[in-house]
Amino acid sequence: YDMLASKGMQLPGAVMSFDESSMHKFIGSIVECKAAFDVNKFALKVKRCYAEQAIFRLTLRHIDDDGTLREILDTPLLFSMKYSDKDTEYYVTPEAPIRLTHGTYYLGIELIAAIGDRPQILFPLYIKHSYIITCESNIVEPWNYNIGLSVAGIKRD
């Protein structure tokens, strides 16, 4: 597979915490697609999942010339994780490859549910220019860190 989006530079020992206050917000980064690309999988690492179960949603939005973000996934890409006290790698594979054309995209992740006495998920922290989008208002805020979500697939000519 080819990589479309890199994770950025990891900060050793630093983590980003997702909990109930993180819900209804996407964190993600801008991805430049220079040629047609078929997305086959998304990958991320979780340091710890203290929730009994956590459910996340991925978003992949095309950024139009006027700055409008337009969701390109017909079906939400959801994935869940269960309690784990060790580093765990997660892979999210769409049912069919997602064809991207030349352009600019926003790739983000949102916590939509966290169940348990301690609903907290810790991700390794990466230095990478990112954006937080509040779901209700669609307000886009720049941020300097990310959780290392990467995209793999096949470049098309």
What is the DSSP track for 56-94?
A: EEEEEEEE-TTS-EEE--SS-EEEEEEEESS-EEEEE--
Say if residue 120's pLDDT is above 90: yes
State mean pLDDT over 13-41.
Answer: 93
Say if residue 1's pLDDT is above 90: no
- What is the average pLDDT score of the chain? 93
Specify the pTM: 0.90
